Every structure is written in C-alpha cells, then in structure tokens.
Amino acid sequence: MKRLFFLDFVLLLGLILLILVLELPSVVESGSHDYQDALTKSILFFEGQRSGRLPQDQRLNWRADSGLGDGSANGVDLTGGYYDAGDNVKFGFPMAFTTTMLAWSLIEFGDLMPPSELRNALVATRWATDYLLKTISQPNRIFVQVGDPIKDHNCWERPEDMDTVRTVYTVDAPNPASDVAGETAAALSASSMAFRSSDPGYAETLLRTAIRVFEYADNYRGAYSDNADVKDGACPFYCDFDGYQASHLPITCTFLHTFESLCFDELLWGAAWLRRASQNDSYLSYIQNNGKTLGADDNINEFGWDNKHAGLNVLVSKEYLEGSIYSLESYKVSADSFMCTLIPESSSSHIEYTPGGLIYKPGGSNMQHVTSIAFLLLVYANYLSRTSQTVNCGSIRVGAASLHQQAKKQVDYILGDNPMGMSYMVGYGDKYPQRIHHRGSSIPSIKDHPQFIACKEGAVYVNSSNPNPNTLVGAVVGGPGEDDVYEDDRADFRKSEPTTYINAPLVGVLAYFVANPNLNP
C-alpha cells in the first residue's frame, strides 16, 4: 500500500509539473536573423508613408501621388513629408522626432550600413527634412500640422483619394511652440550632421535653419497645443502630454506653472543637438545653465516623440564621457540611472517585461518604446565602450556588452523570437501581421482599382477579415499585449497600427546588428 501511495504521489507531482510547464510562456526561437534584410525593409517602409508627388524610383509601387494641394489654401507649399501612421494626417511634432531618430541612426551607425542602404536611409531622411524646411519657411510662423484628424479618422480611404479637408494648423509669434520648434531644431541639426559629407551645402542650410527655429522655441516658451487654434487638431493625438506624470491626465504648459520644467525637454534636446552639430559653446552654456530650470535633473525615464529626457541624457553624456566636461556630469548620472532600470539583475530595475521578454509600457503602440529604448541601449553601450567605462547599478556593474545584449533581445523578439513565433515586421519572415491598421495597405491600390473610393466606402475594407491587399513592407506594428498575445486584428489599432517613430530608431538598431550579428543575448 505504501508503494502504491508513493507511485500515486509521484504521478500526481509529475502531472502538476507538466501543467506548470505548459502554462509557462515559451519563446519560439527562429535561429539567426537576417538583419540586413530587416534593415532594408525597415527603410523601405518609409516609402509607403510618403505624401506628395512620388519619385520615379518609388519602390512600393502600390502607392501613388497624394496631398498635392497641401498648403495651397494658405498660399504656401506644404506638399511632401510623411503620414505618421495608418491615417492621412501630417503631424509635425512626431514627424520631427522621426526625422531626428533617422538622422541619429545615420550618425551613430551609418558607417555600418551597406552603401545602398546608407543611400536609402539618407533619402528617407531628406524626404522629411525637405518638408520640415517648408513648415518654417516664413519668419515667426510654424506650420505644425496638415489635415483635420477628426474628419480624417471618420473616413477610411486611400491617401490618393483623400477628399477630407486639408486644414493647415499654424502657430505665429508670440504664441508658444517650444515642443514642435525645439524638436524641429533637433531634427535639422542632427540631419545636418548626417548630410555633412554627402551634401555639405544642404547640411549648412539645415543647420542655419535649425538655429533660427530654436530661437523661436526658446523665445516663445510653451506647448504648441496650448494654442486655441491648434488644440482641436493636435489633441488628443499629439498634444505635448509630458506634464502628466503625477495624474496621468494631460496638463498644458501654460497651466502647469509649478511643474514648468516637464514641458520644456525639447529646449534642452534642441540645444544639445545644436551643440553637437555646430560645436558652438553658446549651446553648451545653454545646457549647463538651463538644465535645472528646464528639467534635466527630473530623471524621467522616458523617451519618445513626447518626452526626450532619457535620450537627452544619453546624448549629452557623450560629451561628458569623451570630453571630461564635468559640469555635464548630472546628465551622465541620469543616463546611468536609466540604464540600470532596464537591467533585470539590477536592484533599481523597474521596467516591465512581458513573460516572453519584451519591454512593455502600458498604453498603446508599445513597440515605439521598445525600438527607442533598444536604440539608446546601443548608443550608450558604444559611448561606454569607447571610453572603457561601465555603469554602477548598485550591487552590480554593467558594461557595454550587457547593454548590447539587452538590445539584441528586443530586436530578436520583434523579428520572431517570441511566444507567438511571428515577426512583428510586415514582410519579414514567414509569419507576420496580415491585417494591419493602415488605410493605404488595406484598400485595393489605385493601380489595381482606379475607381474613386469615397470616405465611407472604405468601411467594407476596414471591417473585412481578409488580409490587406497591399504589403506595407517593413512596417513594425504596435505589437502584442503584456501577455505576449497578438490577434492580428485590424480594428485593434493599439496593437496593429505601424508608425514612423517605431521604425526610425529601429533603422539604427538593425544597422548595428548587420555588423555585429553574433552577439549572444
């Protein structure tokens, strides 16, 4: 009897262990990834987001000209630029951030790209900078957006068929626009560095214009969405929300006097890029003298289109690490602190990871956090490596190799090493999202279906369960939920919509792994 009882116990224990194992998430590993193919596709994606008159060498040929009258009602040419996501609006704030990240990718990792992809990345960047130059072509005026988002979002139509009102949203001095103007200054400064060797004349134009637009940002402080004429167009889509830290509700800069520093990260960000691009000491003094009042010491561990703090600290740390400018040490301390939050073994780690290992931040479009953070991990790792330094995370010291590995885990997850066993980049691998939340991709191409498809006539396509007819190659979607589950549902835009600011930092990340494919995570 005792022997039978023991056998029953063993069987029961085995059954319990089997159940536990089955319930644990498993990561499907696809082996080595073709990072060069992924890089090619991540850049190609931007051609699918183009607005304006398309060039003859357009490779995603299911797209055609669109938005050719943008700005005409205001007597200005605002054609070109990018649609930021799956809609047909051109939002200046996230477009400028996208541009900064494309340029930063080129600055840090361009020399690792195959020559053809370096050229394509420069073309993608210039498509944005040419447009940004148009938005600040008039003195003391910034064109911050083209397209009424409410009317646009009430339609499901191809950009080629757009018949919604193309409202132009404008900010004029002395009305504030520190966020958009500061980010535009950063974008043009960074891009001037990216174009310096291939087109020095264009680079000089970009830098000269960046200096002028930064003056607007600094002289007229506040959020562009505080302007009554702009707020209804920008909000709730791309308001400056980075003052919401305490309540998770949007608080505008003009209202939030006691936490004013939370609203001006773009001023330090723009100044930091102007310093790096121009080597002008006046911008170094600006960063040194305004750090406390503009929030450099707030140590906010965020980085994205709305919040530049972590990226700012990493960017400025380069000058401290390589130039020993001790007045910038606080930026390096904050950058170290941010890195420690990303290391699971660190006592200060507090970032969330899914069971499958993906960085996860509640909200929407999670992959924007993943790609931006992976980019910062690689950039900071390179800065540390060049100066033979490490990060003190309390009980452990973290070196460049560890940061490289953390970034690799994230990019490999995106490309297929995840519990779903799928790539979250459209067109990469054998299994990827088929029903992305994207108007142009989900409606038959104008070349296959030349008849006009009106605003509401697109409903049949958005509500269809069929795969999208046009493959938006290289698009990275918002990604799975905190449980690693992805349903491939076009209606779930938080998970299934791609954005330019997801892809832009990924360009640099993938370029690094093209040259360094065999790091062991």
| CA distances to 115, 181, 201 from 112, in Å | 9, 31, 24
Q: Collapse the DSSP code of 85 into the 3-class scheme (helix H, G, I; strand E, B; otherwise coil) and give the result.
A: coil
Tokens representing 457 are: 């006539």
Q: What is the DSSP secondary structure assignment for residue 363, as one 8-state letter?
A: S
Is 487 a catalytic site residue?
A: no
Which among 309, 369, 437, 438 is annotated as catalytic? 437
Token code pair at residue 284: 């170094």
* φ/ψ bin of 399: left (φ > 0), alpha (ψ from -120 to 50), beta (otherwise): beta
DSSP 455: G
Q: 147-164: b or e for each residue (b if 16 or more CB lie within 10 Å)? A: bbbeebeebbbbbbbbeb
Strands 141-146, 359-360: parallel, antiparallel or unpaired by DSSP?
unpaired
Cα–chain center distance at 240: 15
How many angstroms separate the CA atoms of 254 and 106, rounded?
A: 36
Residue showing tokens 């009554």: 228
> Which value, in Å, is the radius of gyration of the alpha carbons in the chain?
23
Residues 349 and 342: their CA atoms lie apart, in Å, by 6
497 is annotated as an active-site residue = yes
For residue 309, which amino acid is it? H
Q: Which residues pair with 398 in a beta bridge?
A: 391
For the question of residue 484 being annotated catalytic, the response is: no
Distance of CA 430 to the CA centre of its chain: 25
DSSP 189-244: HHHHHHTTTT-HHHHHHHHHHHHHHHHHHHHS-S-GGGSHHHHHHHTTTS---TT-
| CA distances (Å), origin 186, targets 197, 429, 446, 518 | 19, 35, 36, 33
Q: Find, among 249, 265, 477, 474, the residue nearest to 370 by Cα.
A: 477
Catalytic residue numbers, as ranges: 437, 488, 497
